Amino acid sequence: MLSRRIIPCLDVQEGRVVKGVNFINLRDSGDPVELAARYDAMGADELVFLDITASHERREMVVEMAAMVADAVFIPFTVGGGIRTTADFKRILRAGADKIAINTVAVEHPEIISDAAEKFGSQCVVVAIDPRMVGRYPDGSPHWEVFVHGGRTPTGLDAVEWAEQVEKLGAGEILLTSMDRDGTQAGYDLELTKAVSNCVSIPVIASGGAGTPQHCYDVVTEGCADAALIASMVHDGHYTISEIKQYLLDRGVPIRILHEGN
């Protein structure tokens, strides 16, 4: 088993980190640059910043924030939200981001995945997929539908089929957020995560539902995820990244130890 990653996610709205439940009822969780520096010092493997309303409101992207974060941290970080062109990729990567996450534009214009992968490398292209379970197929298997515009708009796309397609188009990683579990701290959707992880060969970052270190353990073992995205459990001070990593290490999960004493 390759090393599994613990990745704090910072949902950004109007320059502040926010967190909600099922993509609504957002509350303020702090300054993104300050939190980034804190999680870097605590031993996070990477960071993800998502401007959660940029695609819906058609606002300018968070290039300035990316530059400030790049000056504050030494670990890789991903920025997403409001990206519409490969020129946007270039601006944010030049500002210091290591990867770019796209969701809405990937569904509306799938060719951007291939174009960005060709220009900047697949390792820079993260496709975020936000599914919600909407029923079951005749054979009884779950039907997870992909949503865009911050979870506001259904697409008719099957999440597993879309994951397979984005890999073929050149995505280097998938950020998979269960809308049903988002912010609940009730555990990841293991069935969804395993279904997507098993149908692609690129890394899958599981998101939505983390509440305890046990949840992180479950998703990188039973759920077959390559990384666990966490938010409320660290934003609210319930656990430290060191505690989560130690929990996984004690149970035989390989984890990168980035800072002495973590």
Alpha carbon distance 94, 43 (integer Å): 25
189 labelled catalytic: no
Which phi-psi region, left, alpha or beta, contains residue 73 (left: φ > 0; alpha: ψ -120 to 50)? beta
Alpha carbon distance 171, 96 (integer Å): 20
Q: Residue 185: which of 170, 207, 162, 204 has the closest Cα? A: 207
Question: Catalytic pick from 11, 88, 98, 218?
Answer: 11
Q: Output the CA–CA distances (angstroms, integers) from residue 175 to 60, 68, 202, 205, 229, in the order listed.
A: 22, 23, 11, 5, 9
* DSSP 8-state assignment for residue 4: B
Helix, strand, coil percent values for the chain (each to nearest 5): 35, 30, 35
11 labelled catalytic: yes
Question: Catalytic pick from 45, 51, 98, 130?
Answer: 130
Q: Residue 127: which of 141, 147, 142, 107 has the closest Cα? A: 107
Q: Output the CA–CA distances (angstroms, integers) from residue 258 to 17, 173, 215, in the order listed.
A: 24, 22, 22
State the catalytic residues: 11, 130
